[in-house]
Structure 1
Amino acid sequence: MSSSEISSWSRHGFEINTDKSRLDRESILKMLGATYWARDVSPERLWTSILNSRAYGLYSPDGEQAGFGRMVTDYTRFAWMSDVYILPVHRGNALGKWIVETMVNDPALAPVSRIMLSTNDAHSLYHRFGFTVIGGEGEEGRQTMQLKR
């Protein structure tokens, strides 16, 4: 599987898709602009970072952008999971678990032996997929986590 190949997964009427042309730029930038981790990044720089990553759009049964996540990766040894969110209206339906599970198990990333991320509030979500905390606490209480496989 090549890094540019588009992948798609479906569950309960929802879809996760890696086709960047389907991403709702306005919705994603609005949601990420309100997060502690991306609020200080300009919309232009944030969008460029998305376009240069493996992006996972999560869509509701009516086609709305319901969530998002991305992997910054070399597709061989390393990936950095970032910008994972579910719109508030869709939370409580295990969609966060599903998008993380999908990202970690994406066949395009099968060769990747280390996935890392930084979070200050979602440790339990990532622990269930085998991520462990490494190092001490960073800025604003963030902890770096990794999954070695």
Structure 2
Amino acid sequence: MSVTEISSWTRHGFEINTDKSRLDMDSILKMLGATYWARDVSPDALSTSILNSRAYGLYSPDGEQAGFGRMVTDITRFAWMSDVYILPIHRGNALGKWLVETMVNDPALASVTRIMLSTNDAHSLYQHFGFKIIGSDDEQGRQTMQLKR
């Protein structure tokens, strides 16, 4: 399987899909623009980063963008998990766990032995999947986390 192949997973009427043509970029850019980690990044730069990553769109049963995440990866050894979010209206339904689980277990990234990320507010979510804090990222309290497999 290649990182450019489109993959799809379904659960309880929701779908995670890697087809970038399905992404609601306006919704994603609006949500990311409100986050602590991407609010200072231009919409053009965010769009380019999404298009050059393995993107995971999470869609509600009615087809609307309900969440998003992406992996920046060389497909063989390393990946950086980024921009993971669930829209507030869909939180509390374990969709964040499912999205992270899907990203970590994506067959297209099966040979990746190290996945890293940086967060200041979701440590327990990532620790559930084996990520460990390996250090501070910046003065804003972000922690760098790593999953070695």
- TM-score range for the pair, normalised by the shorter chain length: over 0.9
Please give the alpha-carbon distance, in whole angstroms, between the structure 2 residues aligned to 1:49 and 1:139.
24
**For 1:92-143, what per-residue CA distance to the aligned partner results, in whole angstroms no more than 9, with x for missing partners?**
0000000000000000000000000000000000000000000235231000
Which AA in structure 2 matches 1:40? D
Q: Tell me whether 1:15 sits opposite 2:24 in the alignment.
A: no
Corresponding residue for 1:66? 66
Please give the alpha-carbon distance, in whole angstroms, between the structure 1 residues aligned to 2:63 and 2:137.
38
Please give the alpha-carbon distance, in whole angstroms, between the structure 2 residues aligned to 1:138 and 1:54.
26
Q: Secondary structure at the match of 2:144?
A: strand
Which AA in structure 2 matches 1:19? D
Which AA in structure 2 matches 1:27? S
Q: Secondary structure at the match of 2:140?
A: helix
Corresponding residue for 2:48? 48
Q: Secondary structure at the match of 2:79?
A: strand
Q: 1:126 to 1:73 in 2, by over 3 A?
A: same
Aligned residues: 149
Q: Tell me whether 1:120 sits opposite 2:105 in the alignment.
A: no
Please give the alpha-carbon distance, in whole angstroms, between the structure 1 residues aligned to 2:52 and 2:139.
25
Structure 1: 5+ residue stretches without partners: none
**For 1:60-84, what per-residue CA distance to the aligned partner results, in whole angstroms no more than 9, with x for missing partners?**
0000000000000000000000000
Taking only the aligned residue pairs, the percentage that are identical comes to 86
Q: Could you tell me how far 1:2 is from its partner in structure 2?
A: 1.1
Corresponding residue for 1:100? 100
Which AA in structure 1 matches 2:50? I
Q: Secondary structure at the match of 2:29?
A: helix
Corresponding residue for 2:138? 138
Please give the alpha-carbon distance, in whole angstroms, between the structure 2 residues aligned to 1:26 and 1:132.
33
Please give the alpha-carbon distance, in whole angstroms, between the structure 2 residues aligned to 1:77 and 1:83.
20
Structure 2: 5+ residue stretches without partners: none
